[in-house]
Structure 1
Amino acid sequence: MSAGVEHSCGLRDADKVVCWGNDEYGQAAAPEGRFVDVSSGWRHSCGVGADGGVVCWGSDEDWDGDPIGQATAPDGGFAAVSAGGWHSCGLRTDRTVTCWGHSDFGGATEPGGRFLSVSAGDWHSCGLRIDRTVVCWGSSSSGRTHAPAGEFLSVSAGGQHSCGVRVDHSVVCWGSDEDWDGKHIGQATAPDGEFLSVSTGHWNSCGLRTDGAVVCWGYGGSGLAEVPEPQPSPVSAGGGHSCRLGIDGTVECSGGDDYGQATAPGGEFLAVSAGGGHSCGLGAELAVECWGDDISGQATVPDGRYLAVSAGGQHSCGVGTDQTVVCWGDDWAGQSTPPQGRFTAVSAGDFHSCGLRADRTIGCWGRNLYGQATAPAGVFAAISAGGRHSCGLRVDGTAVCWGRDEDGQATAPAGKCSPRLQLVVVIRAG
């Protein structure tokens, strides 16, 4: 879902875009077709179609009615798009950034290099480079383009300010802290604590804390600071048990409990993963806790802070806060010996593992008797390693599987599904 100035757009499960709110310029009149990403700007919206092309709708003009082209998207393949005030920016599949629309202040004059993400604000834009540094361009009024040094997980460009989540999960903002009248409202004064993500508006900002809570700061009128209740997370299915994360952060498991794999500990968690005979959860303080069968050390977690965890057959893997993968437990086939590099997600299978790299390509390691560790080329949104096969969800919404296929488990059906949905391959499913 993406909230614009006076309208919003979202992706339904069928990859259809639905918009609501102010439609004076057609910004809420979403076109037909299947999409994998959508972004709402001021008077226009943009989406990435299932074919990788960008489509925009709404106003293509400035205040005076002169055409500036913010809704005239360029050709080519894109992985993501961001609609700003008077311009738009897109992340191409080759990880370069292209912007279009109003550029008197340079907001649509993108820098070179490769990026992980891009965000278009009112008169400026910010991007997260592949080395995790942030660069901003466009109007530097109020210091909105003066990004601080250091490594970041994400960045968001707003009205006259910008915010980013550092790799230590703290939020830092820069730019104006005032409204048009010079009154201090605090949209660039981020609260303390650890965050998973941040989103900037025109006069306010909101962030998702690591404990699952949402907090907003800045202008609080019109209900901007009223945070809705969270929704429950998906279920994780293991060998003979399953676990789910409740809206209060507690974990509930059911099914086989021979090794205690379905006896979840207390406390608050951000995510949970059910494996063969054990389970693992990511705690609110970014520590991983595992329970159940530990015959191979799969439930003995190395020290450190993590962004994600996955429980496999008799091993487990996690993505550390430095985005490297760490695995523990059985390493008979090399499934616990991950490659170097930066990853955003990892999935532990039976005797192999797969990870989604920062450039959205897939890397697998471990047993490869059936080709389950030979990942195809391309750009992906999700990855899941099963018993003797693996599946990935491409950014265009198509699924592809590889490995053992005697029961058709590696023959993905035709069609497209949303990369926003969780891809699940049950451990020991073959």
Structure 2
Amino acid sequence: MRAWLLAGLAGLALGCRTVPATQVLVFFHAEDELAAEATSIRVRVDTDEGNALDRTDPLSRDGVTHLARVPLVPRDGDASRRFRVSGALLDARGEVLVEVSAVGGYVSHERRELHLWLDRECVGIEPCGDGRTCQLGVCTGECFEPGPLGDTARSQPLCGECETCTSGACAPRRDGTSCGCEGDTCQDGTCRAAVRVHNVFAGELHTCATTAGDGLYCWGSDRAGQTSIGEQRAVPTRLAANLWSVGSCGTDFTCVLGVFGERQCWGWNDAGQIGDGTMREEVVGPTEVTEPALDLIDSGWNHTCGIGEDGRLYCWGGNRNGEVGEQDIGGGVATPRLLAPDDRFLQIATGGFHDCALRTDGRVLCWGLNESGEVGTGDFVDRTAPTEVGCIEGECVDDWISVAAGDFHTCAIRGEGELWCWGGGQNGQLGTGPMLLANVASPVGPIEGGPYALAAGGGSHTCAITSEGALACWGRNDFGQVGIGTTDQNSRPADVVAPGRAAFRALGLGRDHTCAIRTDETLWCWGRNTEDQLGLGDGAGDRVTTPRRVCFPPPVISARTSAR
């Protein structure tokens, strides 16, 4: 989405003297739809000496993007001075629609930039109070650090949701006040989640997650019974309390694993994707299967693969292109089928109609549909059995540590954190830049950024987490699934940031939406929301372009527990 750069404030320069090197240029931004509801912007600047500016300017309506900047210069060039700048969008009645504020400082003999956004998510939010501002619907401390000149990325607050900006530093809130979702509280400067999310897995139009000690939740479309709820739900809905470990979502079905390896699947079963030995075109309710006992599981469009307790590899479901390792392609396999019986595996990644697995010796094997080069064999011929891939410049390496699969592409991480990708690249999902928007049958990379510790593939987009917990996404972005505030396609890694300072640790990518778990065990989702697959509740809209917190129902406390 094209962004508005609000009202010109060039008259703020101090007289006609030459602008000194020590300076901060402040820019205000808003999305088109929000800016269209406003008629003017009010800007206020306060310094150590008091108020330096308080003015209101009309918004430009000449059909072009306007740069609005507030150049700030410290008195006497003293870089130790600080400033507070705020901006508010006003409607035709002069009422405030939304506002943002920032406290920042200077760098001696450097020009810096501060890009502040007035967010749709902050409209209607109660005032955050002294030392705090609203970002993406969340109140955070208003401390910001201006970036280098020319860095036009959205500036991020230095403080978290349970911190206040005091004298230019983030001070923790220890008052136990409410934060985040219902039941969350501020403790020692951190918003402690009442519901802690352990795993998230996403399908085409639905999403599920497991939580600490509270079971399994699903939301989104239930057109084929894939959520087992009976109807579409816009917020996480609890299915069952159990010691669930991991799970996976296919197009119209879901599977989860218990801590003892038992498997339960439900949803559409026309190709045997439930894996209970049956194959029928009807919705199947939760069906438990105990053999073989599995530790890991992942699902493609209409098939699933898993790794057993002994490291053996199994697949079942649709086999149109050999994705379950059956040479008799075109039908389905209704019972888990053992593949590569002499090998042992550490990880499985299923794409739309292909699969890749990481062997214990650090080599990657792939099979299934290969018309986009997603199997990675250097050609575009389908494979009906696991075939070693991951060959770079003709040499098949054995230091792979992780593998991920999108619908028609694959990525894998080597031992030093290098990320390589192959397969369909028409939407930039390979992350190699605009010069390579095509199908590639062999690994290309390493992808910029990193070192990477984890990657995941969606329909035509990719996300990866660095060893320090930073998140980057790239590829198709028509629903905002890349998570950077626009719907522009990105062919290189772009930083994704959620309010607060917690890092990311887990990913769940759907066809056109993305979910990620932070180290504070909170879940954030963004992208396509046409069937409520983001779990954000009514009114979130059909697409969300930045990470939004997913709230779960507070845990039920029994009378016995509360009486202790």
The two structures have a TM-score, normalised by structure 2, of: 0.38
Larger CA Rg, structure 1 vs 2: 2
Q: TM-score, normalised by structure 1?
A: 0.49
Compare the two structures and name the one with the higher strand fraction. Answer: 2
